[in-house]
């Protein structure tokens, strides 16, 4: 059923996917858009939150590489106050890393300039402040790239949405318990307090919480990835101010330069993560799946599993040897919506009219913030190229078996591990 510009559109989720979609749809003339979320954006436990996200065009997949280069123009103009062009170093402990080699080819084919590092210790010639132990590593440095203030970017986008006429509802009136249906058609959502929000079109941009509302089958799962923060002194931060974003593709651990004002150093691991056992009702069926908490914030406990802490600590000792034993200021698990190949899911649900899905960020979607809404809206309006629609299509559930979430080749570190009941209770 065709949707008119005045029909009601309800977007569930106020992260990068949801807000960018809302803003782009207003630009295209849609006048009745509401966004709901558990928390005021940026949600503290969302994957679009906290102090930083990597901005890079370095992808083995040429589609995402082109999109990221397009987004870079937005980071350096529209979001220039949130973006820091620090440079980006992609490194590996093993030679000829396939992801690095493909990324290199895509950047060079697009006319980019790289500094190849057959010996990664040469990174210090470009950045004398780098302290890392890079012996035996190789890779390359891209001067075009860096990081963005994630929370600041989401705040800026949420403000733009509000000014454009989008209604943003948070708290209990924004907490969606389930989809509301009339037959196979989705006609709105049921809220935790018993209220109902009706809409002509519902768009799910619920990230790692998606499988609580919809049977995703083999299409997506949720995993937690460890993040750690360290408080530096002003002198330490000044010493490290001119370093690039660095990632060890073998371990998955990556780091950022210190934040300019608060002097906080962040490390994280882009890996296969941790799974939970959560049981809840999805479309009338009891399901046990991996999911973050829904009722409360996942960012408050400061707990990560012991082996995750050890992995981050090992990365800290490699990248910042002087800080190897520094206590963490804070830690948390960042929740990914994983898909088998790391591709987004942006599609009309094939079996549920009235439902559109925009999720599956797989830990790499935030960097596309300036252009993501355009791509989502093109799919929503059925005008996206067929190649993209096939790449991002929603695959209907086929039984309960999960496809392996191997990602796109960019992840490192140990395989996915399911948390024990004791570990899960500490989250």
CA neighbours closer than 13 Å in the CB half-sphere of residue 422: 2
Written as six digits, the tokens of 320 are: 């910042």
Write down the pTM of the prediction.
0.97
The neighbouring-strand residues paired with 357 are: 204, 347
pLDDT in tens, 58-108: 999 999 999 999 999 999 999 999 999 999 999 999 999 999 999 999 999
Q: Between 16-27 and 150-163, two packed helices, what is the crossing angle to 10 degrees? A: 30
Residue 30 pLDDT: 98
Q: Report how far residue 300's alpha carbon sits from residue 333's, in angstroms, rounded to the nearest whole number.
A: 10
Helices (H), 278-409: 306-319, 369-380, 386-391
Please state the three-class secondary structure of 143-187 as a single string: CCCEEECHHHHHHHHHHHHHHCCCEEECHHHHCEEEEEEECCEEE
Domain boundaries defined on the chain: 9-425
Residue 174 to residues 13, 191, 193, 201, 316, Cα–Cα distance (Å): 9, 7, 10, 16, 38
Residue 69 pLDDT: 97
Contact 140, 89 (CB under 8 A): yes
Residue 291 pLDDT: 94
pLDDT in tens, 342-354: 999 999 999 999 9
Question: Within 10 A of 131 (CB to CB), how many other CB atoms are there?
Answer: 16
pLDDT in tens, 175-210: 999 999 999 999 999 999 999 999 999 999 999 999
Residue 405 pLDDT: 82
Q: Report how far residue 370's alpha carbon sits from residue 79's, in angstroms, rounded to the nearest whole number.
A: 8
In a 3-state reduction of DSSP, which class is residue 418? strand
E strand or H helix at 359: strand 355-359
CA neighbours closer than 13 Å in the CB half-sphere of residue 33: 29
In a 3-state reduction of DSSP, which class is residue 46? coil
Question: Within 10 A of 361 (CB to CB), how many other CB atoms are there?
Answer: 27
CA 305 to chain centre: 21
Nearest to 40 by CA among 126, 154, 166, 183: 154
Residue 17 pLDDT: 98
Virtual torsion, Cα 261, 263, 268, 270, nearest 10 deg: 40
Which positions of the chain have pLDDT values less than 70? 1, 399-403
Q: Report how far residue 85's alpha carbon sits from residue 83's, in angstroms, rounded to the nearest whole number.
A: 7
Token pair 């860096």 is at which residue? 146
Contact 207, 218 (CB under 8 A): no
User: Any idea which fold 9-425 has?
Assistant: FAD/NAD(P)-binding domain (3.50.50)
Q: What is the CA radius of gyration of the chain?
A: 21
DSSP states along 181-231 = EETTEEEEEEETTS-EEE-SEEEE--GGGHHHHS--TTS-EEEEEEEEEEE
Conformation bin of residue 183: beta by default, left when phi > 0, alpha when psi is -120 to 50: left
């Amino acid at each position: 059923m065709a949707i008119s510009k005045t029909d009601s559109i309800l977007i569930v989720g106020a992260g990068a996917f949801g807000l960018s979609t809302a803003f782009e749809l207003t630009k295209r003339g849609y006048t009745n858009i509401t966004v709901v979320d558990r928390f005021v954006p940026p949600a503290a436990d969302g994957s679009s939150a906290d102090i930083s996200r990597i901005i890079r065009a370095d992808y083995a997949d040429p589609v995402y590489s082109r999109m990221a280069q397009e987004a870079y123009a937005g980071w350096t103009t529209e979001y220039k106050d949130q973006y820091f062009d620090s440079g980006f170093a992609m490194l590996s402990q093993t030679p000829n890393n396939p992801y690095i080699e493909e990324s290199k080819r895509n950047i060079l084919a697009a006319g980019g300039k790289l500094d190849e590092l057959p010996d990664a210790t040469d990174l210090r010639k470009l950045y004398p402040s780098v302290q890392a132990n890079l012996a035996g590593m190789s890779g390359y440095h891209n001067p075009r790239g860096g990081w963005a203030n994630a929370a600041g970017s989401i705040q800026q986008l949420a403000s733009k949405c509000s000014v454009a006429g989008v209604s943003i509802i948070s708290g209990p009136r924004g907490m969606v318990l389930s989809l509301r249906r009339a037959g196979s058609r989705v006609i709105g959502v049921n809220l935790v307090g018993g209220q109902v929000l009706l809409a002509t079109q519902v768009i799910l941009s619920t990230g790692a919480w998606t499988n609580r509302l919809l049977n995703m089958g083999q299409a997506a799962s949720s995993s937690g990835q460890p993040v750690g923060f360290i408080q530096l002194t002003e002198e330490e931060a000044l010493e490290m101010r001119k370093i690039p974003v660095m990632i060890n593709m073998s371990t998955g651990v990556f780091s950022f330069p210190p934040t300019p004002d608060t002097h906080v150093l962040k490390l994280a691991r882009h890996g296969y993560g941790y799974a939970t056992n959560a049981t809840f009702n999805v479309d009338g069926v009891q399901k046990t799946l991996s999911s973050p908490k829904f009722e409360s914030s996942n960012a408050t406990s400061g707990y990560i599993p012991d082996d995750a802490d050890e992995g981050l600590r090992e990365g800290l000792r490699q990248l910042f040897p002087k800080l190897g034993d520094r206590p963490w200021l804070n830690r948390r698990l960042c929740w990914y919506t994983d898909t088998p190949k790391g591709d987004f899911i942006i599609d009309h649900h094939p079996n549920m009219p009235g439902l559109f899905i925009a999720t599956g960020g797989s830990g790499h979607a935030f960097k596309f913030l300036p252009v993501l809404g355009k791509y989502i809206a093109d799919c929503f309006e059925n005008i996206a190229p067929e190649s993209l629609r096939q790449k991002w299509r929603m695959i209907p559930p086929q039984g309960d078996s999960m496809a392996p979430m191997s990602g796109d080749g960019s992840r490192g570190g140990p395989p996915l591990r399911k948390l024990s009941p004791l570990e899960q209770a500490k989250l």
